[in-house]
Each structure stands twice: as structure tokens, then as C-alpha cells.
Structure 1
Amino acid sequence: MTAPWYLGRLAAFDLETTASDPEKARIAEAYVGYVGGGLNPIDREPLLIDPGIEMPAEAAAIHGYTTEHLREHGIPSEQGVPIVAQAVAEAVLDGIPLVGQNIRYDLTVLHRECIRHDVETVEERAGQPISLVIDTLVLSKYLDRWRRRVSAEQGAHVLKTTAQVFGVSWVDEEAHGARYDALVAARVAWHMGRIAHMPLAQRPRVLSGRDDRRHLFDDLAVDLPTLFASQQRWAAEQAASYQEWLRSPKAGEKRDVNAVISGEWPIQSAPVLTP
């Protein structure tokens, strides 16, 4: 009998970048490490990369990397991007699931960077599609759809909140580096999987709201290919729901009647440019 996925090897992956828009973002730091599976962890040093463009102040305020620091300590982007792509492709080739928070963003940015530098993408290097992924953001939104924001600054499903919900240690001073965020996401995924494989009556009540929705964890107690397919469906549903909200009066100042939110996962297709 195959062991539950949370007891297997996990490849923790995260990027720090120059922008929140994956079409504009450049990689500034990358981490790929291995945990779990009854084996010793492989905890590589994060890779600092000079993105070749100025680091916006709002991005530097999050991860702390300035243009000057990356120019001095980072390797050129054209050298760093293939290294990151190869590290991720090796996990894909070894059948080890990639784990991250909002990993669609990271995989999309990496894919765009490979195209930008005219090097093989992860899927081209692996010779196969990326098909084993655990996205703690998608899982968190599925399990606890109506969770409220912690504060005006801390969202309901950001990594910090999800870590706190599942009892994973969070230190603000260490957060928002690629290594820290990747490993926290892997720990969150482990706790989600552990709860999913408990008998229903023994599961802790970590989900918000009055109704007992611990049965939702049943949908995580499946094999990795099934979980991957479920996440594709849930990501599409979550995107459609957010798009509907943005187009409605409920969105207030954020309302955009023409809003289009892609539900593609785990890599978002490039937008079609019109003349």
C-alpha cells in the first residue's frame, strides 16, 4: 500500500521577484529544497540573482533585496534562470511533488524567464508536463473558503495566516525570503495532509465558521495525481468566483466590470496580445 503523500518526499519551491505580475516579474532569489520521505533534508543555499532591472521599492520592502545588493551579490539572470529551471526539472523527473504557496505564480514567472532568456523551460528539460504539485494557497481556499482577514494588512489566505491556522511557526523577521517561505509552505502542506489522513472524529477543528467542515479534508486524502486534478478544478473555481466578485458592486472601489481572472493552474498561459 502506498504511503500517504504527506509522508513522502516534498520539493519546497519559492521565488522572490521584482513584481507581483508574473508577466513583468524577474527573479531575484530562488530556493528548491527537499524535505520528508524519511530521508535527510537537502537544504541548498538560496540562489541570489541580479534580475538586470531596477528593483522597485515596493518589492524591496517585502523581501529586502535592493538593486545594489543584487548587483553585488547575485549572479546574472541569464546564468541564474537555467540553474533554477534545472533544479525544478530534476524534482519533476524524480516524481517528487513541488510544494509552495501560490506556486502558480512562481512556476509562471520561471516559465516566462526561461522564454525571455531563450533557454529550455522546466517541462522541456523534464520532457514531460509538471503534474505533481501541492499549492497551499489553493488548498487553504478550498478548505476554508470563508476565512476572514486577520487585519487590514494580513489577508485570510496569505502564508502567514495559513501557517498560524495549522500551527506552523512564523517569525516576521525571517519571513519573505525564498528559503523561509518555501519551507513554511512545505510544513503547512504536511499538516494539511496529516489531518486529511486522520479519522474524521480525530481531526482538529482548525477551519473557521460555525459549521463542522472537517469532512473537506477527505478530498486531500487521495493520491497525488488525483490531488493535482482536484487543485486544477479548485483553482479554476476560485478564479471564477473572484472574477464574479470583482465585476459586482460588492467589490466597491475595486470593481472592474471587465475583470478577467485566469483559472489556469499550475502555469498560466501567456496573454494573447492584440494589435
Structure 2
Amino acid sequence: MPVLTDGPWTERILGGFDLETTGPEPESARIVTACLAYFHDGKLSKRTWLLDPGCEIPEGATEVHGISTEKARAEGMDYAAGLAEITNCLAWLWGQGAVVSIYNGSYDCTVMAAESNRIGANKLWRPGPVVDPYVIDKYWDPDRREKRTLGMVAAHYDVELANAHDAGDDTMAAMRLAWVLARKFPEVGALSVPELMDAQAKWHRHNSDSYRDWATTKAAKLRARIEELTQRAAELERRAANPDSGWPLRAGVQTS
């Protein structure tokens, strides 16, 4: 039976989800591996998928997650069938009242929606309740200067992550981070599911606005530096065109 409460989201079943894909742009990336797990009543359930994306996996992507085109073609599921299974398993878990931890969830959820639309599996795909440790950490601890990769954030909170970019290990780390952050920041852990979803949308906008302001300022400084360097280069070129070739007097100086 679904475990539904009107209380804090931490009273729900906690799930975790992660995708490894063919590229960094979620609107065009295809799924290569996936993992869905959930923890309930002291028991962990976990399932992983390897899909044949039906296209070449770029070398850069293979370097990240370790899956080559040849391996995906030889061992991977039919893409449409695999996507349908992942979609159905997610729907089932959300149907049980779970909150699913997805690190940088806007990427994975966008991939799922875009791919569902592309192959016509589910044109109205929408995520259920999600907790995103990336959004929470960045909003609640904004002054930390280190990168916010899953590996770096997991290390900061002493969360185990054996193999970054392995879908199974990333999923487990995302679940553990959700648990840790709910206790590190009690205001977050006390939110109901609707409050959590609304708050994360607001926090994400805040994080995005902060990044925009930083990037705009940084770009302006770089442009100013470029202008300064351009002027300096022009001055050096002028001097190079008219070198001082005379000694001990400069060439062209009249002595009588």
C-alpha cells in the first residue's frame, strides 16, 4: 500500500534515480544506463538498466561512464522497451508515495521527458515528487567555493560514492545525500511534499539567478581584460615596427 502522509517528506519512502547518457545536453542526450532504487522498512530494492541508444556513444561520454558503443549494442536492451520499463518503474514507485532523490534532477527529468516525447512512449511524461540534493546544497550553503559535482558534494558530507558516474553508485549517493541534508538543514526536512517541490523550484531559480549575475560580471571583467590586452598588443606592435636600432645614439639623431 502507498505510504502517504501529510507530514514531512522524510516520512515517505525514499527512492533514488540516476541516468548516464550520450551527452551533456538533456534535450538531445540518449539514455545509456539507468538505476532506480528505494529504501523502505529497512530494506533496499534496486534495479539497473543498460540500453542500446541506437546511435554512436561519443568517446567523451564513454570516458565518463565507461560504456562504449560496442558494449551497448552487444548487451543493451532495445531502447524503446528499456525506456518504457524505466518509465513504468518510476511511475510505480511514485505511486507508492515515494520521494525520489535525483542529483541535478532537472537534467535527468528533462532527458526522460525529451526521450519519451521523441519516441512517442509517453508524450505527457511528468516527474513525481523529487528531492534534489544539488539544488538544496547550493542554496543552503552558497559560499562554499568548491565545485558542486556529485563526487565533491558527497565527499563534503562524508557520503560514500565508490564509482562516480556509475548509475548504481550515483543513485545510492543521491539517496544518502537526501537523508543527510534533511538532517543538516532541519527546515528542509520539515517540509511537506508540496512545500518541498515549491521550495526547490524557488531555490533553483535563486541559484540560476545567482549564477547569471556571477557569469555576467565575470564576462564583463574578461571583456575589459581583452580590451586592455588588445591595446597593449597594439602598443607592442607599434614599437616593433619602429625599433631602436642605433647605439649609443638612436638612429636618425643629428650630431652636428
| 1:188 partnered with 2:177 | yes
Q: Compute the TM-score of the two structures, normalised by the length of structure 2.
A: 0.79
Match of 1:260 in 2: none
1:89/1:122 contact within 8 Å kept: no
Aligned equivalents of 1:112, 1:254: Cα separation in 2: 36
Within the candidate set 119, 122, 128, 1:120 is matched to 122
Match of 2:214 in 1: 245
Matches within 5 A, 1:71-82: 71-82=73-84
- Structure 1 residues 55 and 170: alpha-carbon distance in aligned structure 2, compared to 1, 3 A threshold: same
Q: Which moved more, 1:80-89 or 1:18-27?
A: 80-89
Aligned equivalents of 1:195, 1:7: Cα separation in 2: 16
Match of 1:152 in 2: none
Unaligned runs of 5+ in 2: 225-256
Aligned equivalents of 1:195, 1:3: Cα separation in 2: 18
Match of 1:11 in 2: 15
Within the candidate set 91, 97, 100, 1:98 is matched to 100
| 1:224 partnered with 2:193 | yes
* Equivalent position SS for 1:42: strand
1:131/1:225 contact within 8 Å kept: no
Bigger radius of gyration among the two: 2
- Structure 1 residues 122 and 178: alpha-carbon distance in aligned structure 2, compared to 1, 3 A threshold: farther
1:6/1:194 contact within 8 Å kept: no
Match of 1:161 in 2: 152
Q: Compute the TM-score of the two structures, normalised by the length of structure 1.
A: 0.74
Counting aligned pairs with the same residue, the percent is 31
1:15: how far off?
0.3
Matches within 5 A, 1:122-271: 123=125, 130-149=127-146, 155=147, 157-171=148-162, 174-197=163-186, 218-250=187-219
Match of 2:26 in 1: 22
1:196: how far off?
3.1
1:72: how far off?
0.4
1:8-34 Cα distance to aligned partner (Å, 9 max, x none): 311110000000101120000111111
Matched residue pairs, number? 220
1:74-133 Cα distance to aligned partner (Å, 9 max, x none): 01212111111111111222221111110110011011111111111574xxxxx53411
Which structure has greater helix proportion?
A: 2
Unaligned runs of 5+ in 1: 124-128, 150-154, 198-217, 256-275
